[in-house]
Structure formats: C-alpha cells, structure tokens
Chain A
Amino acid sequence: MESEVDGILVAAHELKAPLAVLRQLALNLPEMEQSGERMRSEMVSVSERAIKQVNDLSKIRRLEDGLFEMEPVAVRAVCDEVTKELAYLFSYNRRDLFIKYSNRSKLVTANRDLLYSVVYNFLLNAMHYSGEGTRAELIVRDFKDKVKVVIRDYGPALPMDVWREMKRGFVAKPTSIAMRPGSSGLGLYIASKFSRYMNAEVGAVRHRDGTSFYVELPASKQASLFV
C-alpha cells in the first residue's frame, strides 16, 4: 500500500511541473481581444484546477504521517472561499449555485486545508454533473454536536456500487463512474480520504434527479468568537 501511495506521489509531482508551465504560458500570453482573454482565463483556470487535484494527491501521502493539525474551523468561511473560487467556473459553464447556511456560529474540529479540498471536490463534481442551465446547491446545517455540509447536483443518479461505498463512509480507490461520463471518481476518493482523516463522515443520497453528497463534521467544543 505504501509503495502504491509513493507511486501516486511521484506521479503527482511529475504532473505538477508541466501543469505549472502551461499556467505560466497562459499568463504570459500577450493581451488579446475579448474572446482571446476568455480563452486565456479558461486555460489558467483549467491548469489551476488540475494543479489543485495534483496537490490533493500529494497530501494523501502526508496524511499517513499525520502532518495535518486539527483545529477549530468556521465551516461557513471555508465554504465562502470555495464558492468564491469556483464562481467563475459556474458562470462560465452556465450553472447556478444556490447557497444556504443554516448554521450561525458553530465551529467544527477539522483541518482547514483538507476541509477546503473536500468541499471543493464535491462542488466541482456537482458543477460537472448538473446539466446546463440547472443549479447545484450548497447547504450547511447545524446539529447538536455536528455540522453537515451537503452538496446537491441535478445530474445522473449515482450508481449503486459507488453509493454503497459512500454508505460505508469510505471510497477505497478512484473508480470511473460510467453513468457520469468523464468521471474518474478522483474527487470522491480525495474527499473520502480527507474526511476520514478528520473523523468526519461522508455519504451520498440518491435522488431521482441527481445526487447529494455530504460530509458531517464534529462540532468543536471551543466557543465561537470569530466566524
């Protein structure tokens, strides 16, 4: 298992270098007319998303070394950052993002970077699999001793085998999802790994018209002073 993870780490680093070059090339293109600028933005955005996934893969190796500190984290602030980062992508792909926060001040015990990646990966999936003109939803709810983040899409239903894995709370490896074309299951795998490290529960709910992915994080005992 360790050598498999080390292989992923080497592959991740090998992929990161050319992606970084592509991003720099796009940033260094001379000024263009409107459609050219749009293409440049998309090139930068695509490279940055790929780099983010590669960085997440590198983090999987570091999980084993326990290098991510757990701390009180404001879920809303993390979700705000992710939605801000992905706003351009949603708009570019003509998807709406509906956001509803029902939590007021509850903090969770988590690692901020890992939680960011979990929400980012779920939202990116939702953006991909919601049809054009439809919306994805991000809902954060407070419970007595936990906070639940739900990301709902209006795409094809999640296959039974993936749903079962999610029900068990752990995706063992990236698996291509045939009913969701273009999916490698990498986002789910990363989200599942990171959630497990944070003692959070991940799961999925199948709907007739899409899927909700969720992560339940333990509420922090620390009083929330800053949100």
Chain B
Amino acid sequence: MIYVIDDDEIMADCITKACGEKNEIRIFSNAIEAVRAIDTAGTPDLIFLDILLDGPDGFTLLNELASYEDTAKIPVVVVSSLNFEERDLKAYGVVGVLDKSAMMPLEIKQYVEEYCD
C-alpha cells in the first residue's frame, strides 16, 4: 500500500497516476488523517510526502513516524517545491527527495518498483 500525502489535490492525483495500478494507493490532504490511517489500517510500504501541508507540516509527521518502532521503518519520499537535499533528511528515514517543479513520472515509478513491487 502507498500513501500520498499532499494538500494539492491535482498534484496528489499526478503522483498517484505515476505510481501505476499495481498497488493500492490512499491519498491524504493532511498529516493527521494519514497518522489516523496508519493507526487503524497498518503501515504502508511507501509514503510520498509533501512538506508544506495544512495543519501539522511534513516535518511534524516525519518526527512522529520516526518516534515509533514500526513506523520508523516506512520508506518516505519527500515531494516538495522547497529545495531539500536528501542528506539533510536522512535522519528522518527519508529515502528520496523529489523537486515538484522538476520531477518526472518515471522517478516516482522507480521508487514504487524499489519499495513496493
């Protein structure tokens, strides 16, 4: 299962489309909904996470995920318009960073193939 967490509905749809049809995908517009879903439905195989969200931001969610034994292992790909280096986010368990303004659908697919297929 893949979680896409982005408050921009169209961008979330684009990411979902690029993920392909093999995996179940759930879209969340904020971090709170995503955490609740993890509590009830279990941990996803991969998360695509935007940083600037309504309510608690992506970093709050990353801290929350890193604080529990089971969720700390979930691979997270940060998808943002802000400029981040992957090495700066390694401590949060981030396995990749994609710049929204430059990423290609193929890059999203590659993460899906690596962590889900």
B86 interfacial by beta-carbon distance below 8 Å: no
Which residue of the partner chain, among A13, A24, A55, contacts B11 with CB atoms under 8 Å?
A24
Closest B residue by C-beta to A24: B14
Interface membership of chain A positions 15-33, coded 1 if the CB is closer than 8 angstroms to chain B and 0 otherwise:
0110111011101100000
Residues from chain A with Cβ under 8 Å of B8 in the complex: 17, 21
* Complex: A27 Cα to B11 Cα, angstroms: 12
* Complex: A24 Cα to B99 Cα, angstroms: 11
* Complex: A110 Cα to B10 Cα, angstroms: 39
Which residue of the partner chain, among A19, A20, A28, contacts B17 with CB atoms under 8 Å?
A28
B81 interfacial by beta-carbon distance below 8 Å: yes
B104 interfacial by beta-carbon distance below 8 Å: yes
* Complex: A13 Cα to B51 Cα, angstroms: 13
* Complex: A28 Cα to B103 Cα, angstroms: 12
Of the four ranges (under 10, 10 to 19, 20 to 34, 35 or more), the interface on chain B belongs to: 10 to 19
Interface membership of chain B positions 7-21, coded 1 if the CB is closer than 8 angstroms to chain A and 0 otherwise:
010110010011000
Which residue of the partner chain, among A20, A25, A28, contacts B101 with CB atoms under 8 Å?
A20
Q: Is the CB of A16 within 8 A of B105?
A: no
Q: Is the CB of A51 within 8 A of B10?
A: no
Q: Is the CB of A28 within 8 A of B14?
A: yes
Q: Is the CB of B105 within 8 A of A21?
A: no
Residues from chain B with Cβ under 8 Å of A55 in the complex: 101
B73 interfacial by beta-carbon distance below 8 Å: no
B100 interfacial by beta-carbon distance below 8 Å: yes
* Complex: A25 Cα to B105 Cα, angstroms: 10
* Complex: A51 Cα to B11 Cα, angstroms: 16
Closest A residue by C-beta to B106: A27
Q: Is the CB of A25 within 8 A of B10?
A: yes
Residues from chain B with Cβ under 8 Å of A17 in the complex: 8, 81, 100
Q: Is the CB of B104 within 8 A of A21?
A: no
Which residue of the partner chain, among B17, B18, B101, contacts A23 with CB atoms under 8 Å?
B101
Taking CB atoms and an 8 Å cut-off, the chain B residues in 1-49 that contact chain A are 8, 10-11, 14, 17-18
User: Distance in Å from the Cβ of A67 to the closest Cβ of chain B?
Assistant: 11
* Complex: A126 Cα to B104 Cα, angstroms: 29
Residues from chain B with Cβ under 8 Å of A27 in the complex: 14, 104-105
Residues from chain B with Cβ under 8 Å of A25 in the complex: 10, 14
Residues from chain A with Cβ under 8 Å of B100 in the complex: 16-17, 20, 24
Residues from chain B with Cβ under 8 Å of A23 in the complex: 101
* Complex: A21 Cα to B101 Cα, angstroms: 8
User: Distance in Å from the Cβ of B84 to the closest Cβ of chain A?
Assistant: 14
* Complex: A48 Cα to B101 Cα, angstroms: 8
Which residue of the partner chain, among A13, A19, A21, A48, contacts B10 with CB atoms under 8 Å?
A21
Closest B residue by C-beta to A27: B105
Interface membership of chain A positions 107-146, coded 1 if the CB is closer than 8 angstroms to chain B and 0 otherwise:
0000000000000000000000000000000000000000
Chain A positions within 8 Å of B, measured between CB atoms, are 13, 16-17, 19-21, 23-25, 27-28, 48, 51, 55
| 9 more A-B residue pairs beyond the given contacts A20-B100, A27-B14, with a C-beta to C-beta distance below 8 A | A16-B101, A20-B101, A23-B101, A24-B10, A24-B100, A25-B10, A25-B14, A27-B104, A28-B17
Chain B positions within 8 Å of A, measured between CB atoms, are 8, 10-11, 14, 17-18, 81, 100-105
